């Protein structure tokens, strides 16, 4: 199973709905205008509109969906020393990074993990697992928070939205071109859009979507290196390395990943229950991240 994250999962659902809507509204009739005369410009415009709409709606929903899927409890009024420390540390790091104060929360997972999400760098959410607070010392936990603040300050969610919007556009566009070619040229259908078009388009969207996801995964891995560097800048290189080494220890001891599969792309650790091809990894291996901090 490809852990492409909450953002990508929501985005995929929206793209599927958008594709169906295009058909129901008759937008796909541009493919049949004037016989075999395909209006490429109109097709590209429509694909861009729906491709970017899916991407940005996913972005706007990301914080709400993250809270719901993880059971994150937002700290409104700190009720313990840990909660007070957490809020104060996030406030300190956010000020140092030059961003607005994020919402701060804790989600009930024993695996040490944390995530940041949100459509606006001044209106984000930073959450840590209960397990992280229990097992990481304050210096290590502060480094993890700095890593997540780095994601927000670097505008990683916005960047990923733009990348995903472009990819959505061209996946939809080329899938329909392939479907049109099969329907009109190979199957010689001259009466509107035939069954060959619909089947080919769906298959092409799935295949092209999987190929295109490798591009998103590559950018996801690069943003992890950047967030580690930001964490080192905010909390100290030694503390960031120590936090990643602590995650390595949990990997070796097979601590179960309790973060939902739909959200692992946004955690500091992607989990280790499965080891997909590197092309589909949302995070670089921890040893590479530690090496980058040591020698970068």
Catalytically active residues, by annotation = 148
Edge-to-edge strand order for the sheet containing 125-129? 73-74, 103-107, 125-129, 114-117
Phi-psi category of 281—alpha, beta or left, where left has phi over 0 and alpha has psi -120 to 50?
beta
| E strand or H helix at 128 | strand 125-129
Nearest Cα to 11, choosing from 44, 56, 48? 56
Contact at 8 Å (CB) between 127 and 104? yes
Residues 117 and 61: beta-carbon distance below 8 Å:
no
- Nearest C-alpha neighbor of 229 from the set 158, 287, 294, 278: 294
Residues 6+ apart with CB under 8 A from 253: none
Would you call 80 exposed, middle or buried from its count of C-beta atoms within 10 A (0-12, 13-18, 19+)? Answer: exposed
Q: How many CB atoms sit inside 10 A of residue 26's CB?
A: 8
63, exposed or middle or buried, with CB in 10 Å at 0-12, 13-18, 19+?
buried
Complete DSSP assignment for 78-90: --SHHHHHHHHHH
Determine the Cα–Cα distance for residues 235 and 72; give it in Å rounded to an integer: 24
Question: Which helix (H) or strand (E) segment is 216 a member of?
Answer: helix 195-235
Please state, in angstroms and rounded to a whole number, the distance separating the CA atoms of residues 40 and 44: 6
Q: Give how far Cα 220 sits from Cα of 46, 156, 157, 265, Å.
A: 27, 9, 10, 8
């Amino acid at each position: 199973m490809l852990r492409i994250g909450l953002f990508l999962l929501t985005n995929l659902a929206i793209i599927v709905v958008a594709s169906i809507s295009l058909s129901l509204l008759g937008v796909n009739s541009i493919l049949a205008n004037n016989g075999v005369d395909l209006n490429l410009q109109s097709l590209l415009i429509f694909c861009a509109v729906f491709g970017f709409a899916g991407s940005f709606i996913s972005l706007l929903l990301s914080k709400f969906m993250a809270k719901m899927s993880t059971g994150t409890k937002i700290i409104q009024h700190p009720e313990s020393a840990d909660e007070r420390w957490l809020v104060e540390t996030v406030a300190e790091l956010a000020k140092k990074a030059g961003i607005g104060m994020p919402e701060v929360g804790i989600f009930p997972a024993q695996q040490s993990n944390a995530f940041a999400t949100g459509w606006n760098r001044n209106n984000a959410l930073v959450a840590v697992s209960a397990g992280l607070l229990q097992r990481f010392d304050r210096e290590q936990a502060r480094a993890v928070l700095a890593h997540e603040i780095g994601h927000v300050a670097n505008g990683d969610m916005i960047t990923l939205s733009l990348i995903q919007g472009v990819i959505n556009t061209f996946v939809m566009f080329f899938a329909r071109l392939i479907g049109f070619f099969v329907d009109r040229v190979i199957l010689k259908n001259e009466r509107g859009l035939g069954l060959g078009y619909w089947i080919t388009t769906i298959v092409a969207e799935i295949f092209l979507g999987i190929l295109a996801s490798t591009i998103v995964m590559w950018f996801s891995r690069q943003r992890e290196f950047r967030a580690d560097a930001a964490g080192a800048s905010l909390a100290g290189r030694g503390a960031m390395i120590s936090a990643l080494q602590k995650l390595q220890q949990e990997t070796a001891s097979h601590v179960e990943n309790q973060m939902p599969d739909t959200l692992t792309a946004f955690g500091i650790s992607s989990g280790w229950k499965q080891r997909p091809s590197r092309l589909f990894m949302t995070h670089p291996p921890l040893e590479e991240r530690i090496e980058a901090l040591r020698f970068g």
